[in-house]
Amino acid sequence: MRKIIQRVSLSLFVLMLLAPLFTGCDNRKEEKHSLDVVSGAFFFDSIPFKIGSVSLDYARLPRGYWEQRIQLIKGLGVNTIMVRVPWMLHEPEEGVFRFDGECDVREFCSIAQENGLLVWLHVGPYVDAHLDMGGMPWWLLKDENLNLRSRQKLFMDKVGRFYRALASQLADRQLSRGGNIALIHIEEPDGLQPNHKSYLAALCDSVRSAGFDETLLTVVTTKENVHQVPVDKALAAYSIDDKQSAMSNFAGARKHNPNSPVLCFDVARSCWHVWGERVPLRNLDKSFARLFEVFEGSGSANVSVALGGTSFGHLAGAEIRDGRFRAFSTAYDNNSIFNESGRYREAITMFREAFHRSATQVLPANTDSVEIFEMNMFPETAVTSYSSLFDSLPQAISSQQPLTFEQCGVGYGAVLYTTTLPEVKKGSKLSFEALRDNAQIFIGGKRVAMLSRVDGDTIISLPEEASGATIQILVDAFGRVSNLFKYKDYKGIVGTVSVVDSKGICTNLINWKNTPLPADYSKVSARAFGNLSKTGEPGYYRTTFDAPGEGDFFLFTGSWGRGEMWINGHSLGRFWSRGAQKTLYVPGCWLKEKENELLILDYVGPTQPVVEGFKTPIL
C-alpha cells in the first residue's frame, strides 16, 4: 500500500437524485434513466437539472490512476465529466482498432458511473484538446485526395467506421440503457470550413446510425456561428472567452433556437505549455466569474482546466498562431486545478464554490479522503548503454524527390534523408521548401547544422569542400497542426531541397534515399546495445534502476537533447532541452520494485548521459 502523505477532505456535492443511480458495486440490475430538454431546460428523469462538468482525458492518465483522478474531480462538486475520445488512439492503423489497456474507454466510463458521475462523450472526429491533428489519426494524410473534416464520402466513410467501432463498445452504456452516457458531443470550431452546418448534420446522422440513437447530441459553436448549428439534430454548446459576457452569448442562441438550453462548452480556458518558450500562467478570476454567471443564470457548463494530465506518447499536437509554429509540450498542466501527479492548487476553492452552485439539491458533505500518492526522488544515475541511430538502419525507400513521413509510412519519429551534393560554389546555401519540424544536416558524416521549424529556419550556408559529398538530413517531428482550415501538416521534408549559389541559380537535389525511423518501442527495445563510449551523439540509450519508493517522480531531462523516453514500455512523451519543460512525469503505477527499464531515443544526443528523479516538475 502506498504511503499517504497528503489527504484532501473534499465535499462531494452532487445532485440528490443522482446518488442512488450509479452504485456500480452491487449485483442489482442497472436502472434506466433519461436526460431531456423541455422548454429550454434540462430535466433528469423529469426533475430540473443543471450540468456541472469538467473535461477529463483518460488518454492523458495512467490507467492505474483512473479511479483516483475521477474521485478527485468528483470532489470539486461536479455531476458530469466530459470524456474526449481521440480517434488516433483507438485506430492507430487504418482498420485496426484498440479498446484494451490504456485505450479502454468503456472501463473509464464505468468507473465514472461507479463514482456517481454522468459522461458527456466527445466523439469528434476532431476533439482538439491540443492533440496531434486534433485527435484524428495521422494515416488520414496518406491519401492526398482526402478532405479532412468535410462531407466528402471518402472522409465520412472512415469516420462512420470509427463511430461504429466506438458504438460497439459504448452504445449500451447510454443513459437510457442503464449506463451513464448522458450527452454526446460532436466536433470543435477551430479549423472548420466557414459553412459547416451540413457537415455537422452529416456527423449527427453518422453517430445516430452507428448506434448512439438514444442520447442528446451537442455541437460547439460561438455567438457568431450559431446559425451553423443543425438545431433539428443537436443542441448548441457555446464556447466563450473572458472578453464576453456569458449570458449575452445565449441571448443570440435563444433567437436562433428558443428551446435551446443555456449550455457552455468551455467557460474557463487556459494557456498551454509549448516547446521553446515559457507560457505565463493565466489568471482565472474572470473565468470563475463567467462560471458563476452561467450557473446563477440557470445554465450548465463544462470547464477544461481542472486536471489536464500528461500527453504521453505522441498525443501532443501543435498550432500555427499569428504565423508562428508552436508545438505543445508533454505536460498538459498549465493552470490546471490538479497537476500531473494529482496535487491541487489554490484555485480549487473557487472551483468547488462554483460547481456547488450548479446543484439544485445537494448531499451533506462527504469527508472521505482521496489518497494522494507519495512523491519520490532518486540521485543522479549514469546511463551507460548505447546504440547508434545510424547502425542497423531499416531498408531505405528510393525516390527522385524527398518523401514525407506519411509517404514513408511513418506516423511519428524521424526519417533519415540521404543524397549526393552537386558542385558547391563559394557562397552557396542549402534551402528547404518546407521543413517539418527539426533537422540536423550531416555532410561527410559530420554534423554541420541544426534547424527547427519553431525558429522558422529553412536555409544554411554550405562550405565549398562539400562538393560531391554525401549529405544526410535527419528530420524528427513534433505533433501535427490542427487549428487551420484545410491545413495538412505533412511531416519531414515537404517539397524540394535546393543548392542556391551566390547568383541565385538553383539546383534541386534528386535521387534520395528515405530511411524511416519510427518511434516505436518494440523496435527500439529490440536493438542491440553496447557500452557508451562518447556522448553527444544521436541514438538510443538504455539504463535500469530500482524504484526509489512506491510513489511517482519527475524525471529530469535537462541534459538530454530532443526525443522520447519509455519506462517499462510506457511512453513518457517527448522532451527537448530547450524547455521550458525539463521534466517528464513518471507514474508510480508503471514502476516495479527492481530493474525498471528506461529507454531514451535522443535525436540530438545528451550533454551528459545521466538521469535523476525530482519531487516537483520543471515547467
- Establish if 26 belongs to a structural domain: yes
How many other CB atoms are found less than 10 A from the CB of residue 444? 14
Read off the DSSP letter of residue 481.
Answer: B
**Residue 1: is its pLDDT beyond 50?**
no
* Whether residue 574 sits in one domain with residue 463: no
- Establish if 401 belongs to a structural domain: yes
- Establish if 315 belongs to a structural domain: yes
* Whether residue 167 sits in one domain with residue 19: yes
- Establish if 572 belongs to a structural domain: yes
* Whether residue 357 sits in one domain with residue 248: yes
Tens digits of residue pLDDT in 109-157? 999 999 999 999 999 999 999 999 999 999 999 999 999 999 999 999 9
The whole-number pLDDT of residue 13 equals 33
**Average pLDDT, stretch 266-276?**
78
Crossing angle (nearest 10°) for helices 105-114 and 153-170:
50
Report in angstroms the alpha-carbon separations of 336 from 10, 51, 146, 351: 17, 20, 36, 11
| CB burial string 528-558: b at 16+ within 10 A, e below | ebeebeeeebbbbbbbebebbbebbbbbbbe
User: Which comes out higher in pLDDT, residue 19 or 107?
Assistant: 107
**Which of these three, 373, 407, 429, is where a domain ends?**
373
Burial of 425 (0-12, 13-18, 19+ CB in 10 A): middle
- Cα separation, 500 vs 439, in Å, equals 19
| Residues 467/472/478/483 CA torsion (nearest 10 deg) | 50
Average pLDDT taken over every residue of the chain: 88
Share of the chain above pLDDT 70, in %: 90
The whole-number pLDDT of residue 369 equals 56
Tens digits of residue pLDDT in 463-483? 989 999 999 999 999 999 988
- Residue span of the structural domain in which 469 resides: 393-518
- Establish if 203 belongs to a structural domain: yes
* Whether residue 573 sits in one domain with residue 491: no
- Cα separation, 440 vs 460, in Å, equals 11
**Which of these three, 339, 373, 407, is where a domain ends?**
373
* Whether residue 531 sits in one domain with residue 506: no
- Cα separation, 438 vs 419, in Å, equals 18
Share of the chain above pLDDT 90, in %: 67
- Cα separation, 473 vs 490, in Å, equals 17
- Establish if 251 belongs to a structural domain: yes
- Cα separation, 311 vs 313, in Å, equals 7
* Whether residue 420 sits in one domain with residue 383: no
**Which of these three, 458, 491, 518, is where a domain ends?**
518
- Establish if 491 belongs to a structural domain: yes
* Whether residue 402 sits in one domain with residue 271: no
**Residue 354: is its pLDDT beyond 80?**
no
- Cα separation, 76 vs 12, in Å, equals 7
* Whether residue 346 sits in one domain with residue 253: yes
Q: Which residue has the cell 551523439?
A: 537
Strands (E), 70-164: 80-84, 118-122
Read off the DSSP letter of residue 96.
Answer: B
> Where residue 609 sits, what CATH number does that domain have?
2.60.120.260
Q: Is the pTM of this model over 0.85?
A: yes
> Where residue 259 sits, what CATH number does that domain have?
3.20.20.80
- Cα separation, 308 vs 614, in Å, equals 20
Tens digits of residue pLDDT in 386-415? 999 999 999 999 999 999 999 999 999 999
The whole-number pLDDT of residue 333 equals 83
- Cα separation, 25 vs 1, in Å, equals 22
Name which of 197, 305, 187, 198 is nearest 241 in CA terms: 305
User: Which comes out higher in pLDDT, residue 309 or 255?
Assistant: 309
Count of domains forming the chain: 3
**Average pLDDT, stretch 320-334?**
91
**Average pLDDT, stretch 83-88?**
98
The whole-number pLDDT of residue 433 equals 97
Residue 358 banded pLDDT, cuts 50, 70, 90: low
**Residue 6: is its pLDDT beyond 50?**
no
* Whether residue 511 sits in one domain with residue 536: no
**Residue 17: is its pLDDT beyond 60?**
no
* Whether residue 495 sits in one domain with residue 351: no
The whole-number pLDDT of residue 26 equals 33
- Establish if 619 belongs to a structural domain: no
* Whether residue 501 sits in one domain with residue 533: no
CB 305 within 8 A of CB 284: yes
* Whether residue 133 sits in one domain with residue 161: yes
